[in-house]
Structure 1
Amino acid sequence: MPFPSRSLGALAGVTLGAIVLAGCVARADLESADSIAVTSTDSTCEVSTDEATSGTVTFEITNAGSQTTEFYLLADDGLRIVGEVENVAPGVSRTLTLVAQPGDYYTVCKPGMLGDGVGKAAFTVSGEAVTVDAEDAELKQQAVELYAAFVKDQVGQLVPAVEEFVAAYEAGDDETARALFPLARAFYERIEPVAEALGDLDPRIDYREVDAVAEGLDWTGFHRIEKDLWVPAEDALNSDDVTPAWQDWAPSTAAERAVFGDLLIADVQELYEYVHSDAFAEDLAAQGIAGISNGAIALLDEVASGKISGEEDWWSGTDLYDFAANVEGSKMAFSLVRDFALSSGEDGEELVAQIDAGYAALETELARFGSLEDGFVSYGELTDADRRDLSDQINALAEPLSQLTVTILE
């Protein structure tokens, strides 16, 4: 699947390489402890222990609820998926086996396979670091499967987030809708290249007004609703001409809001159905780890070509939320192929060091302005110097990141 780039609290610290893909010992040589029992119900996720020893760890998941469920082992940022089992039907048990490195994790179940799950709890792996064969084709397949799981998880949280956002918008509760707008978008922004590969789906969900007009498309989606929620002032200008943004503009009626809101819900549902389809699995498999690497690059390109200019969320000024989510998604994808780059030799090690440093510096710079958890300042509050500093950090990361795909394929 191609990952094209469209013009366009502080980030959680992703612990890179927290699981598998880290060396050259056969997986069969790793010692496995007794299985860890997980019981998922409609409202709980009970794990028989909150700790394990590094090496092969097996979870035995039993669905005692009434809804099909999923089980996840998450990295310490609560975002990156390091192991998951999906489609566990009521009354069914399934097994998750993985090679765990020492570190802090979270366990969580997701009954109904939507939302952010239930019973999220800390899980600790102690012991010595474990090495595995980074050339193992099975590990490459696992990286692809974990990226697919991450995409499904984000879209699974996007669906109810958009439904809540649209409900407030259609009810005329603009204050609530404005608060929910950037939070719902974050789930989309972390996996945006996936939607961009689906023809007109991304334009329907996320096109700016100027893009829709230029291409002769009906303007719908997040940004159409955004303009209703942040009615342009009479001195507001479009981004690439001098036409007043309020000219010929009238806020949507209640009936029109219902249309735009329902269209966004339907388009997001279409995205959900795609990422749970055989076609999505086949597309990812065809691209392999190069597709993941290209996804990391494309998400940073989203920041460099659109977010940094402040033109993405033109009416709301919530660009930094999108910015942060793009970077989180990029870093997540990079984390899954990082060890393949390391295994390519000294050049790969140097490249990884540069990329690690680039993400860290960009996170630090972003943290000056807020976080996804606590909120960001309006993009309009940034000075020219602030924007230059952010741009410099993006460019410093983009250069080594652009070499990632070639490096892991060598």
Structure 2
Amino acid sequence: MRPARLSVVSAIAAVAALTAVTGCTEKSDSKAAAGAVRVTADDTSCDVSKKEFPSGHVELAVENKGSKVTEVYLLFPDDRIVTERENIGPGTKATLTAEVKSGSYEIACKPGMKGDGIRQKVTVTGGTAAARSPEKDAAVAAYRKYAQEQADATLPKVKVFTDAVRAGDIEGAKKAYAPSRVGWERTEPVAESFGDIDPLVDTRADGLEKGQKWTGWHRLEKELWQDKKLSPDAPGLADELDKDLADWQKRVGTAVITPTSMANGAKELLDEVAAGKITGEEDRYSHTDLVDFKANVEGAQQSYELLKPVAVKNDAALVTELGKQFAALNTLLDKYRAGGAGSGEFVSYDTVREPQRKELSDAVNALAEPLSRLAAAVVK
């Protein structure tokens, strides 16, 4: 689930507690390229330095001058996401890199990480995006296959969950809940790029927009663990979840995937961990956060491994550091497997105490910083 749907208070608290787990969100943005499009965000405006720029590798240099945590998106006209950066704290800066073809787009700033955002229309001129090497094409093709495989494997697992809900089998549904989410969590940036599916299947109660009906995994999670009973709406909610995820499965093949979107998506998955899993807010009723946590890390690592042949040519030191930090985080996560390192199940997250959560947070921070530089290494 996109951290944007945290309450503003929770988002600010999470950023403060985790020291803004965004490796390319910093006080100084001296690394931004001279030709970058500068985006200045505050609580009431979203100003861009230029509204027309050439296609190819585009860099957005963002500065948050407001009092609220914000996020910035580059969007297609139909609200699909080209690239995004979340949890940009007050007084900080961030850099986004994307591979963009000619056409019309919008840059959106979301103060408080809520709503449709303050938007500016921009035009990308020229032909197509920069030509890609065979290595980059191979990475994109492999990742597209991976995303489709994850979606295909998710639907049967979801059906086990929803069948149990429809049958009124609370214990069966509880057992199937976390496994049904793994493929989604591994590839969530692809799902979020469509804009309309994530709110239907993965929104929490405090992330609902005004007038939005609460559907999806977390609505059923609340009934199963907190209410300890299934409502009369539960069978219909199960049907909707099946339908919405089938829609996701069909659309994965149409997603816009580039080397930079893969790199940015890997970083977004670490942001997901920081904003929802470390805090225990994602699966707050079931406490199965570590399953989602591991899936996010696996998805990020898949993108990294596929991009490694490209990145190692441009920044071998970065590749070495990423390999080290992924290994360290995975080793730490293995400590929380219910049956030991070889077990497929994790302990309930409510048994993980604050010092242990701080250790996990530090490991996420240590990976997030170099991972934020992967997109730049890919486009060098």
Q: What's the TM-score, normalizing by structure 2? A: 0.64
**2:223 is the alignment partner of 1:228:** yes
Report deviation, 1:231.
2.2
Deviation at 1:4, TM superposition (A): 7.7
Report the Cα distance in structure 1 between the residues aligned to 2:132 and 2:190, rounded to whole angstroms: 26
Deviations 1:69-107, CA, capped at 9 Å, x for gaps? xxxxxxxxxxxxxxxxxxxxxxxxxxxxxxxxxxxxxxx
CA distance in 1: counterparts of 2:156 and 2:270, whole angstroms: 26
Match of residue 197, structure 2, among 201, 204, 224? 201
Q: Which residue identity lines up with residue 239 of structure 2 in the other structure? A: D
Residues 226-272 of structure 1, C-alpha deviations (whole Å, 9 max, x = no match): 01110259xxxxxxxxxxxxxxxxx543x411110000000000001
Superposition pairs of residues 384-395 of structure 1, within 5 angstroms: 384-395=354-365
Distance 1:158 1:330, change over 3 A: same
Residue 261 of structure 2 is aligned to residue 261 of structure 1: no
1:219 equivalenced with 2:214 (yes/no): yes
Instruction: Please tell me whether residue 368 in structure 1 is matched to residue 335 in structure 2.
Output: yes
Contact persistence 2:152–2:249 (CA under 8 A): yes
Structure 2 regions of 5+ residues with no counterpart?
A: 7-130
Shift of the 208–197 alpha-carbon distance from structure 1 to 2, 3 Å rule, reads same
Query: How many residues align structurally?
Result: 253
Change (3 A) 1:320 1:252: same
SS at match of 1:230: helix
Confirm or deny: 8 A CA contact 2:166 2:234 kept in the other structure. yes
1:194 to partner: Cα distance? 1.0
Contact 2:215 2:241 in 1 (8 A): yes
- Check whether the contact 1:6–1:302 (CA below 8 A) recurs between aligned residues: no
Correspondence list, 1:270-349, <5 A: 270-276=247-253, 279-280=254-255, 283-284=256-257, 288-344=258-314, 348-349=315-316
Match of 2:320 among 340, 346, 353: 353
Distance in 1, Cα, partners of 2:198 & 2:155: 15
- 1:115-126 to structure 2, matched below 5 A, reads none
Q: Which moved more, 1:370-379 or 1:154-163?
A: 370-379
Letter in 2 for 1:261: A
Output the aligned Cα RMSD: 2.0
SS at match of 1:375: coil
Instruction: Kindly indicate whether residue 131 of structure 2 is the aligned counterpart of residue 164 of structure 1.
Output: no
Is residue 137 of structure 1 aligned with residue 133 of structure 2? yes
Tell me how far apart the structure 1 counterparts of residues 181 and 342 of structure 2 sit (CA, whole Å): 11
SS at match of 2:285: coil
One-letter code of the match for 1:259?
G
Deviation at 1:6, TM superposition (A): 4.3
- The amino acid that maps onto 1:353 is T
Q: Larger Cα Rg: Structure 1 or Structure 2?
A: 1
Structure 1 contact 5–299 (Cα < 8 Å) conserved: no
Question: CA separation of 1:354/1:389 partners in 2, compared to 1, >3 Å: closer, same or farther?
Answer: same
Determine whether 1:183 maps to 2:179. Answer: yes
The 1:378/1:229 distance shift into structure 2, 3 A limit, reads same
1:294 Cα deviation (Å)? 1.1
TM-score (norm 1): 0.59
How far residue 137 of structure 1 moved from its aligned partner, in angstroms, is: 1.9
Cα distance, 1:215–1:363 mapped onto 2, change above 3 Å: farther
| Mapped partners of 1:353, 1:149: distance in 2 | 26
**1:376–1:193 Cα change, 3 Å:** same
- 1:295/1:367 Cα in 2 relative to 1: closer, same or farther (>3 Å)? same
Q: 2: CA distance between counterparts of 1:219 and 1:136?
A: 42
